[in-house]
Structure 1
Amino acid sequence: MSAEVHGDYFWTFDLAATDHVVRRRALARHQALVAAAREGLRGWNAPEAIALYRRRTIHGPVNTFLDSAPHDGTEALWAPFAVLYLRWEADYPTEWGVPESRMHSPWATKDVLLRRFERGGLPEGTRPDIAELVLSALRRPYRCKDWMYARLVPRLDPSFLDRVAALTTADEPLVRLRAQFVLEAAESPERRVTRVSWQRWLSGSS
């Protein structure tokens, strides 16, 4: 997918719009495209149907980002859509995860994106949004793959830890524990954050 079609996906930002009418319109468009791709699976060959899904929905720019090489111009062009996908899940998880919005596991895409940001770094301009996503994951009830946000903290400015530290006095005990885990991980970068280490910390057996 070339940079020339970048503008074709601006409408996808409305999937995470705060305006209910705007968001519902974008969601209807997205789900209609998903439905068309599903219908294609039944009526014509699967590769073309899957290509339609990946080309015309939010998965088009997300996959282009994942296919790009870290630190090149293409990555920076498509990174906002990768962040958008994660923000859509953070702010409107039901609309994001409902079967009508997808053709495969959205958690797998979330996993791949978080791994890419961890290993490839945070493209220019994405750090403020990633910081907010990390804080959101620490504050809310746990969702699949949320533990992976802790791996992105070293990619953020060191001053971000002050915002994490502020959560150690939160009313919710699990929020305090998650924040403490992130701070502990930041102090011991040689210890890789894993799902097991995250779960052990929260269970008090670290």
Structure 2
Amino acid sequence: MAKDTDGDGDASAGAGASAGAGADDAQAWDARLGWAFGLIADDPVERGAALDLLADAQGNVQGALGRFNELWHSTLPLGGQGQWRDPALLKAYERYVEAGRSSLPDALWNRPPGDIRAWQGLPYALLFLEWEARYPQEWTRHAKKWGTKQSLIRDVAVAGHGEPVRAKLTDLVETVVQRAYRCKDREYVRVARAVDSEDLRRRLDSAARSGNPWARRHAGYVLWLLDHPEAPHTIHVWQNWIAAEASE
């Protein structure tokens, strides 16, 4: 997965590649980011503590990036290849990468190639998406990266997940269809199709029959797409479905 490039605040004047995801085992991920599960806690005090830790981690990333950019500019006379042979610049870059591995969303960038179902960072990708789904305002204030959200949704929208992950993805689809549209929410159609099940359809049917106008419209459309796997999910298809519903 590439670094978020949707223009919502990523600033890296010199770093050619972002701090990113490594191929570490689950224990290493938990050691660096276990505190992040507090971001989706029901208890606002616990969430507040996690937000404080996130702010510290993001501050470390920005500090390391600032130092790297200073050295990048000071070594420009060496030329591109010469710069990357400069020990101080290399060390600064390593510190920037290492800082990002302990922060969100940086730790989720540049996932190693391979099956996402075997990636040890998958629980944190799901955490990031659940945070945006359950506490969208906090996510927006502290970690708004629409491109990262889109990339993660597309990455996890594959068949063959184990039951705990399928259950989490089903919960996410149910949560998202019940709210007013947020940027990149349309990508969750991919997830719904990947984890289609009787349980998901029951939840969507319940939402489509609820008193929530957003849920009725969104859930009804997703159900229609599940019944028509050949139909592309495009704005034209959406508009035609809306028009057909209005005429009934």
**Which residue does 1:70 correspond to in 2?**
115
1:83 aligned to 111, 126, 142, which one?
Answer: 126
Quote how far apart the aligned CAs of 1:52 are.
4.0
What is the TM-score with the length of structure 2 in the denominator?
A: 0.70
Query: Which structure carries more relative contact order (alpha carbon 8 Å, separation 6+)?
Result: 2
The answer to whether 1:197 aligns with 2:240 is no
Deviations 1:120-173 (A, max 9, x none): 436322111111111111101111111111221122242021211112212133
Question: Using the alignment, how far apart are the partners of 1:85 and 1:22 within structure 2?
Answer: 16
2:228 aligned to 184, 188, 196, which one?
Answer: 188
The answer to whether 1:143 aligns with 2:189 is no
Quote how far apart the aligned CAs of 1:203 are.
4.7
Secondary structure of residue in 2 paired with 1:44: helix
Deviations 1:15-61 (A, max 9, x none): 11111221111111111111222233333347456524531113355
Secondary structure of residue in 2 paired with 1:67: coil
Secondary structure of residue in 2 paired with 1:81: helix
Secondary structure of residue in 2 paired with 1:141: coil
Secondary structure of residue in 1 paired with 2:130: helix
Whether the 8 Å CA contact 2:177–2:215 is kept in 1: the answer is yes
**Which residue does 1:59 correspond to in 2?**
105
**Which residue does 1:171 correspond to in 2?**
211
Task: Specify every segment of 5 or more residues in structure 2 that has no aligned partner in the other structure, as ranges.
Answer: 1-21, 73-92
| Alpha carbons of structure 1 residues 23 and 193: separation in structure 2 relative to 1, 3 Å | same
What is the TM-score with the length of structure 1 in the denominator?
A: 0.83
Question: Using the alignment, how far apart are the partners of 1:111 and 1:195 within structure 2?
Answer: 17
| Alpha carbons of structure 1 residues 48 and 97: separation in structure 2 relative to 1, 3 Å | farther
Question: Using the alignment, how far apart are the partners of 1:164 and 1:87 within structure 2?
Answer: 18
Secondary structure of residue in 1 paired with 2:131: helix
Secondary structure of residue in 1 paired with 2:101: helix
| Alpha carbons of structure 1 residues 110 and 166: separation in structure 2 relative to 1, 3 Å | same
**Which residue does 2:29 correspond to in 1?**
6
2:65 aligned to 30, 41, 45, which one?
Answer: 41
RMSD: 2.5
| Alpha carbons of structure 1 residues 96 and 172: separation in structure 2 relative to 1, 3 Å | same
2:50 aligned to 10, 21, 26, which one?
Answer: 26
The answer to whether 1:152 aligns with 2:191 is yes
Quote how far apart the aligned CAs of 1:182 are.
0.9
| Alpha carbons of structure 1 residues 85 and 196: separation in structure 2 relative to 1, 3 Å | farther
Question: Using the alignment, how far apart are the partners of 2:132 and 2:160 within structure 1?
Answer: 19
**Which residue does 1:108 correspond to in 2?**
147
Task: Specify every segment of 5 or more residues in structure 1 that has no aligned partner in the other structure, as ranges.
Answer: none
Paired residues for 1:112-127 under 5 Å: 112-118=151-157, 120-121=158-159, 123-124=161-162, 125-127=164-166
Whether the 8 Å CA contact 1:161–1:183 is kept in 2: the answer is yes
More helix per residue: 1 or 2?
1
